């Protein structure tokens, strides 16, 4: 008990010696330690000095401070190249570092040696709102300027339950100039590019798609046309179907395509089916032509023989 009183006395004397304008107020109304330096525009400081004279400071500056960059600021800083660490303990021990600020400015959460400006280990970075169905339920921006939205962003819209990946191409801070490039629906995971209306499609695109190559997985192909048991329509039957319906057999009509679109893989298979059927017609026609040539040659020989006699 005697040692505690001596330590308290030294600290109290140190505060009074440090500045004559400070007021130390210890009370039992939940305010704790109050340092009042309102009469001095130099700000209010708490200096924490270790055994070798190195210091850490907690400082508060009001709007009358002489340096504009410090006005209305509360600063925690360590001097002499020291790091700052914030720790918690559940057993009364030295505690575990929860937040670390290195002297190079790197900040670590859950890590004592952050190698980036912000390092988060074994945890989640949470963006949220205090109520549901809000447009601004979380937004992360990547900007080219400190005072502008120009760049890109990630945004969750709680009013529509859609996660947006977008860009901002104007040097301003007006959210109306945000362009949602990719939208992911929360209810089904469907993705829209240039649209949030995906229907039943896993990917919906409002606009054209340019690609060097597209691979479509198919469940079947049209080579059944070349099997012996395939019932190939006669050309007369094909002609009758065209006259009655206005399109080829097995090919959807124009009105159906306009209303429902086409399945790319299925349509390619149907078009190939028609090409293979056309090939069979041409093979059959070629056989008929060859037979006619033979008959024609035979007739020519007979006529030549008759003329010579």
pLDDT average, residue stretch 204-221: 91
Instruction: Please compute the mean of the pLDDT values over residues 265-272 and round it to a whole number.
Output: 94
Whole-angstrom distance, CA of residue 79 vs CA of residue 63: 24
Residue 235: predicted pLDDT: 95
| Range with lowest mean pLDDT among 131-135, 167-171, 198-202, 287-291 | 131-135
> CA 79 to CA 103: how far, in whole Å?
9
| pLDDT band, very low/low/confident/very high, at 135 (cuts 50, 70, 90) | confident
Say if CB 217 and CB 237 are below 8 A apart. no
Provide the residue ranges of all domains of the chain, joining segments of one domain with +: 2-82, 93-125, 139-205, 223-308
pLDDT of residue 299: 94
- Is 2 a residue whose pLDDT tops 50? no
DSSP element (H, E) containing 204: strand 203-205
Long-range contacts for 31-35 (Cβ within 8 Å, ≥24 apart)? none
The model's pTM is 0.61
In terms of Cβ atoms closer than 10 Å to its own Cβ (0-12, 13-18, 19+), residue 44 is buried
């Amino acid at each position: 008990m005697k040692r505690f009183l001596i330590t308290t006395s030294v600290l109290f004397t140190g505060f009074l010696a440090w500045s004559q304008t400070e007021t130390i107020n210890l009370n039992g109304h939940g305010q704790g330690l109050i340092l009042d330096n309102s009469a001095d525009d130099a700000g209010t400081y708490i200096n924490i000095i270790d055994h070798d004279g190195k210091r850490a400071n907690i400082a508060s500056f009001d709007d009358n401070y002489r340096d504009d960059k410090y006005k209305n600021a509360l600063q925690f800083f360590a001097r002499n190249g020291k790091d700052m660490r914030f720790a918690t303990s559940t057993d009364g021990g030295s505690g575990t570092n929860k937040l670390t600020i290195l002297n190079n400015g790197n900040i670590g959460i859950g890590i004592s040696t952050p190698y980036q400006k912000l390092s988060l280990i074994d945890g989640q970075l949470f963006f949220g709102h205090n109520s549901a169905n809000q447009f601004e339920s979380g937004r992360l921006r990547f900007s080219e300027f400190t005072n502008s939205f120009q760049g890109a962003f990630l945004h969750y819209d709680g009013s529509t339950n859609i996660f947006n990946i977008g860009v901002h191409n104007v040097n301003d801070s007006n959210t109306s100039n945000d362009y949602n490039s990719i939208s992911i629906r929360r209810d089904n995971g469907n993705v829209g590019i240039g649209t949030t209306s995906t229907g039943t499609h896993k990917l919906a695109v409002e606009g054209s798609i340019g690609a060097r190559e597209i691979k479509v997985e198919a469940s079947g192909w049209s080579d059944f046309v070349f099997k012996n048991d395939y019932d190939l329509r006669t050309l007369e039957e094909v002609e009758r179907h065209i006259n009655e319906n206005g399109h080829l057999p097995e090919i959807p009509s124009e009105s159906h395509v306009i209303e429902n679109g086409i399945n790319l893989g299925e349509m390619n298979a149907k078009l190939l089916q028609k090409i293979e059927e056309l090939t069979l017609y041409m093979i059959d026609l070629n056989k008929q032509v060859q037979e006619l040539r033979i008959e024609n040659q035979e007739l020519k020989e007979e006529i030549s023989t008759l003329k010579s006699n």
